[in-house]
Amino acid sequence: MTHGSPAPHRGKVLDEIAAPGSEPSAPIANPYPGLAAFKPEGHRLFFGRDDDSKRILARLAETRLISVVGRSGTGKSSLVAAGVVPRLGEQIRHLSYLRFEPQGSPFRQLADALCREVLAGEPGEAAESMRPAADRLQRLLADPVESPQVDEQLAAASVDLLGQWGRPVLLLVDQAEDLFTHTSPASALRFRLLCARLLERDDLYLVLTLRSEFTARLLEWLGEDLFRRSLVALEAVRSDEQLQAIITGPAGAYGVPVQPELVATLISASSATKGALPLIALTLEQLFHQRDTGQGLTLAAYQRMGGLESIVDSAAAGIERLIASEPELELACGRLFAELATVIDELPRRRAAAIGPLRADRQVGRLVDALRRQGFLSDPDDQHVELAHETLLGHWPRLRQWCARYSDSLSLSWQAKQAAREWQKAVAHDGIQSPGAQTRDADLLRWSWERQKPALLALLELSHLPAPADPDFHDPGIEAWRVLSGKLGDPLRAFLRPEPLQLLEELADDAAQHHRREEIGLRLNQMGDPRRGVGVAANGLPEIVWVDVPAGEVHLEGRGGELFPVRPFRMSRYAVTWQQYNAFLNAEDGYHDRRWWRKLVQRKQPGEERWSFQNHPAIHVSWSDAVAFCRWLSERWQLPGPETVRLPTEWEWQWVAQAGNEKRKYPWPGDWNPARANGHESGAGRTMAVGMYPLGAPGEGMVADLAGNVWEWCLNEYHLPANTQIGGDNPRALRGGSWLDFPGDLRAAKRDYFPPGDRDGDIGFRVVLAASLE
């Protein structure tokens, strides 16, 4: 009668049933399967579809490939299973029935169904003879990798096992629209070729069922000639005679009456309701459960349910009460729906979900059990669960409203999962074609951050999980990834691993070439560099990541052993970037505000913005410009004191660069390493984004770029280092070397200087948070 995916008949034993006027007799199972589809063993309770069954049988006598196409709710699955298979079995001895849904992996689903059916249905000796072929197929199924090669191996093993089985088979590819919605075009084409191989057997019948919206796709897939020969268009049940048989037949088989008034009402409601057949099926199941001992199925009971349009709501009442009584189930319901429903071409559709991950969430597992008991869920195979019928998407208010609210996220989620599977296949294919080589085909299919990020945010929304702020990144997409990474299955987890994280991981290897580091910095800038400390905060002010520095003491090079104490302070991880510096230049109270220029020479205009990518260090910044920036930022942050934002002293800078008491020659251990700094030897010929040489820092998570990229202003005078006061024209100290310089100038102890009012293309600055020295 209905008309969703076949599920094991729930066999729900209900109240004892009695013929009118008699005492209750033995309990019986409900003869109406509700939203679940009929199976072959239920054919004696399958009424009203004789003409359609005979029409398909007649077509099977002409061609062994049939495509049963009809709208949702026309009972396609039930018709084949309970109407066609038993009749065909009367004509063909020992006919076996094998059903599967493609679910995006048609080769795998066919192989799994074949293994289970063959090994479960054969007697001992026959089963043993097929054991090697079945074992081979099961070994292939155990490999989670999907690729064209695996598809071909599964196809060959399935054909081999079918050949050894040696029995006539009706193979039902149910919900074959999965081939066009959940399967890649390449995989769908390969499956089309497999179907042709299967049909080479004279005793194999292949039946496809799919929704009429996909008729054009089926035509393209089969080709016009085969499409026309195979097509059986299935119309909705409309005739009063058919509907009466569907309504009264199953109950009548057990001697249970159905009131004529109820029959007339249901027939009338059917003509006024689109996709009424599954609603009638659910109504009859509920009515049989609530039947009157004497009168059977009654109009009064139907009216108490609220009629055909309200039957899903009525059937879901127990589920709704359960959710209302336990608030944590509300969120669990959303997580479950995210696995059972999707949106394709702006239309909600059901999909099969692996039962194992659902069970891992206790509350979701409870809902699965409750929905199964209610008949809202069915099992397409041993490993999956799905909505019993698509009519639930439109008639269960909770599910309908949820799909409408999360339509965009569901669509993005579905697209990401499809793309991930195709990418995984390309990775496997590239690995076979050129082991150890870069997977160029897979790279073409890999999503960029611009596509990954919305998909991650959609998945986070569907998960209903909070995303705490990330200490290292300020990007909501990466925050979503941190929450989801342990919950996403393969290949989605690998496919959606954020591009920024992959790029930054490349940097942590000396083998990364300088030009590649430059490319990574530019790409990070293009996507909006997500690292904290590189850009600005939500309030538009520079966001600084501070590194705590302990106390110590430093001897300055060439000063006759002059010793300078270092008190504890905090230093910015990165040099001030163009995005941060531009916040000062563009603020109404910024560069042009005279308050910040006390005892400083203010030029009319800021310096030239060369290589002004937002995550690159600001250059053409004079010492006076840098001091004014520090004063402005201290004021805007409203620091209570005694700490203030200022330039570092030389001894503070060197204490960090030499790794404290280790007194390193360069910030990293050992001697010069050309892979760890943007100096003259890099060949870049200009600045790079900050932080492109993480191994060049004094330690993991420490201050970056203390060698190369840009010289950095220090607070003190060069010739009189002890003088840290503001004012005067004496040269100020520079540290670190730049993109122009050779290794000798990139040493931690190397000192240099420049006039405080001058600017240059290789000079920038970083800041510290420490006691004021003005």
Q: Is the pLDDT of residue 435 over 60?
A: no
Top-ranked range on mean pLDDT: pick from 266-270, 279-283, 321-325, 510-514: 510-514
Alpha helices per DSSP H over 168-214: 178-181, 185-198
- Average pLDDT of the segment spanning 192-201: 93
pTM of the prediction?
A: 0.82
| Rounded Cα distance, 646 and 635, in Å | 12
- In this structure, of 201-210, 272-281, 424-433, 662-671, the range with the lowest mean pLDDT score is 424-433
What are the phi and psi torsion angles at 536 (to 5°)?
-120, 160
What's the token pair of residue 341? 């429903």
Q: How many CB atoms are located within 10 Å of the residue 297 CB?
A: 25
Task: List Cα–Cα distances, 317 to 285, 309, 338, 397, in angstroms.
Answer: 15, 14, 21, 11
Task: List Cα–Cα distances, 453 to 409, 478, 700, in angstroms.
Answer: 12, 8, 27
Max CA-CA distance within the chain? 118
Kindly state the percentage of the chain with pLDDT values over 90: 74
- Average pLDDT of the segment spanning 692-699: 96
Banded pLDDT at 21 (limits 50, 70, 90): very low
Banded pLDDT at 12 (limits 50, 70, 90): very low
Banded pLDDT at 560 (limits 50, 70, 90): low
Answer whether 295's CB lies under 8 Å from 257's CB: yes
Q: Is the pLDDT of residue 206 over 70?
A: yes
pLDDT score, position 431:
61
| Rounded Cα distance, 452 and 448, in Å | 6
pLDDT score, position 436:
46
pLDDT in tens, 517-536: 999 999 999 999 999 999 99
- 27-29 vs 13-16, strand pairing mode: antiparallel
Task: List Cα–Cα distances, 15 to 26, 29, 30, 289, 392, in angstroms.
Answer: 9, 9, 10, 7, 27
Banded pLDDT at 437 (limits 50, 70, 90): very low
For 413, the enclosing helix (H) or strand (E) is: helix 407-433
pLDDT in tens, 85-111: 999 999 999 999 999 999 888 999 999
pLDDT score, position 125:
58
Return mean pLDDT, the chain. Answer: 90
Calculate helix-pair angle for 185-198, 215-222, nearest 10 degrees.
60
Banded pLDDT at 140 (limits 50, 70, 90): confident
Place of tokens 């900050």: 690
- Average pLDDT of the segment spanning 228-233: 95
* Partners of 713 in the β-ladder: 734
Q: What 3-state class would DSSP assign to 764?
A: strand
Q: What 3-state class would DSSP assign to 52?
A: helix
Q: Is the pLDDT of residue 5 over 80?
A: no
pLDDT score, position 150:
86
Banded pLDDT at 688 (limits 50, 70, 90): very high
What's the token pair of residue 563? 């010793």
- Average pLDDT of the segment spanning 298-308: 92
- Average pLDDT of the segment spanning 54-80: 94
Place of tokens 């003409």: 51
- Average pLDDT of the segment spanning 697-701: 91
pLDDT in tens, 604-659: 999 999 999 999 999 999 999 999 999 999 999 998 878 999 999 999 999 999 99
Top-ranked range on mean pLDDT: pick from 50-59, 106-115, 117-126: 50-59
- Average pLDDT of the segment spanning 729-737: 97
pLDDT in tens, 311-364: 999 999 999 999 999 988 988 999 999 999 998 888 899 888 889 989 989 999
Tell me whether residue 26 is exposed, middle or buried, using C-beta atoms within 10 angstroms of its C-beta: 0 to 12, 13 to 18, 19 or more: exposed
What's the token pair of residue 21? 């006027």
| Rounded Cα distance, 34 and 4, in Å | 9
- Average pLDDT of the segment spanning 456-473: 93
Calculate helix-pair angle for 260-272, 276-289, nearest 10 degrees.
150
pLDDT score, position 697:
97
pLDDT score, position 26:
45
- 384-387 vs 13-16, strand pairing mode: unpaired
Which of 215, 223, 281 has its CA nearest to residue 70? Answer: 215
- 768-771 vs 546-549, strand pairing mode: unpaired
Q: Is the pLDDT of residue 136 over 50?
A: yes
pLDDT score, position 430:
66
Which of 325, 345, 259, 328 has its CA nearest to residue 294? Answer: 259
Q: Is the pLDDT of residue 78 over 90?
A: yes
| Rounded Cα distance, 333 and 362, in Å | 12
